[in-house]
Amino acid sequence: MTSSPIRRAWARFDGPGRLVGVDLARGLAVLGMLAAHLLDTERRLSLDPETWVTLVNGRSSILFATLAGVSIALVTGGSRPIGPERRPRAGARLALRGAMLWVIGMLLVATGVPVYVILPAYALLFVLALPFLGMRARGLFVAAGVLALVMPWIQPVLDAAPLWAGRAGAEIAAAVGWNYPFTVWIAFLLAGMGVGRLDLRRLDVQAVLVTAGGALLLAGYGAALATAPAVAGRPYLATVLTAEDHSSGLWEVIGSGGFALATIGVCLLLCRTPLRWVAVPLRAVGSMPLTAYVLQLVVWALVALALLGDTGDLSGIREAGLFLPLTLGLVAGCTVWALTLGRGPLEWLIDFVVRLVVGRDAAARPAASHMGSDRGSGSGSGSGSDGVGGPR
């Protein structure tokens, strides 16, 4: 009897209904987030290995957004989208989950930790995803592609709106997560939903993700290098035709979006091999990313307050060397929790509230976990809890 809860936790963590490669991708994204927050990532990427940590800047948060779309698709039918009769309840569950994430996000903003909290942007993306729940992969990829090509041209105009420079501009920007503008980032979410509508257990699908993602990565960053001389001295074009981190420029959207797709494909392929066992600690972090994201910011705030007397002292907290102990503690804690207790505490709480308010989907089966829910729908494959944070 004593080992029964542990067996149940393991069955959920590594059972046949779970896409453990998705957990691995989230675990890598969490570590990327921590590095982007707490290490020096401001240097330009070069052949010098000391600059390679810069890879996490921007790309980790885009990977999270793409994985959010994957999970939304998985819990709404996977490769077979749920029918019209079930969409209202699924939409209500998703909207409530987004509302709770928004509240948590605003509480994190109030700590004063100097990061751009992504949860408010996620909340809006969840709402924007509702009209797309019935779409199949092809339609989702087309919609994502159109938005990816069009919105970077409009984003500079939106960024220049007088609203942001007004009296409450900073507060409004934080409330909508404007550092991760939903107007552009919806493309990443829809691309992820398209991925989640595929049969992600198939080897050929996984290989296509790596190939297509790699091609987009090379196209985006290659185009950035090719167009850099032509846009120099032309502010609008330089803002649009750029691959700079967190720019929402066209080449960043294409290149970093491709990076996210390729990363998901590589993680799925790796977990077809014995490396899935080596990756258990990372998969554990990826199975409860909301808890991991919130916990690392809360610990950061408490440590900064105790050591520096100021939660907003970024240089001070980096000099204090918080990255390594926080990362090791997070990995160890998530591993022990996942293998003994199962779902992360915040994931469990959100799922409990959603089931209490909206009710359980009677047709769902325990397969996928999304933002605190471990209930999958339809014929979709299981996945881990969704990524919910990103770097500054």
In this predicted model, what pLDDT tens digit does every residue of 67-84 receive, in sequence order? 999 999 999 988 899 888
Q: Quick check: is 348 in a domain?
A: yes
- Whether 344 and 385 have beta carbons less than 8 Å apart is answered as yes
Q: Quick check: is 228 in a domain?
A: no
Nearest to 142 by CA among 190, 78, 73, 212: 190
Alpha-carbon gap, residue 7 to 342, rounded angstroms:
10
pLDDT band at 44 (very low <50, low <70, confident <90, very high): low
Helix H or strand E encompassing 34 = helix 20-38
Residue 50 burial (C-beta neighbours within 10 Å; 0-12, 13-18, 19+): exposed
Q: Quick check: is 363 in a domain?
A: no
pLDDT band at 49 (very low <50, low <70, confident <90, very high): low
Q: Is the pLDDT of residue 280 over 50?
A: yes
CB atoms within 10 A of CB 98: 21
Q: Is the pLDDT of residue 389 over 70?
A: no
Alpha-carbon gap, residue 181 to 172, rounded angstroms:
12
Nearest to 188 by CA among 159, 217, 127, 145: 145
Question: Is the alpha carbon torsion for 69, 64, 171, 296 positive or negative?
Answer: positive
Q: Which two tokens stand for residue 292?
A: 């991991």
Q: Quick check: is 373 in a domain?
A: no
- Model pLDDT, residue 50: 61
Q: Quick check: is 161 in a domain?
A: yes
Number of H-type helices and E-type strands within the chain? 17, 0
- Model pLDDT, residue 47: 61
- Model pLDDT, residue 48: 61
Helix (H, G, I), strand (E, B) or coil at 376: strand
Enumerate residues 6+ apart whose C-beta is below 8 A from 333.
Answer: 295
Residue-wise pLDDT for 141-186, tens only, equals 999 999 999 999 999 999 999 999 888 899 999 999 999 999 999 9
Q: Is the pLDDT of residue 386 over 80?
A: no
* Distances in whole angstroms, Cα of residue 39 to Cα of each of 306, 324, 388: 20, 10, 20
- Model pLDDT, residue 368: 41
**Mean pLDDT across the stretch 336-360?**
90
Q: Which parts of the chain are beta strand (E)?
A: none
Residue-wise pLDDT for 114-130, tens only, equals 888 989 999 999 999 99
Averaged pLDDT of the chain: 87
Enumerate residues 6+ apart whose C-beta is below 8 A from 297.
Answer: 108, 111, 113, 115, 117
pLDDT band at 42 (very low <50, low <70, confident <90, very high): low
What is the count of structural domains for the chain? 1
Q: Quick check: is 181 in a domain?
A: yes
pLDDT band at 385 (very low <50, low <70, confident <90, very high): very low
Q: Which residues form the domain of 80?
A: 4-202+259-357
Q: Quick check: is 23 in a domain?
A: yes
- Model pLDDT, residue 155: 96
Q: Quick check: is 254 in a domain?
A: no
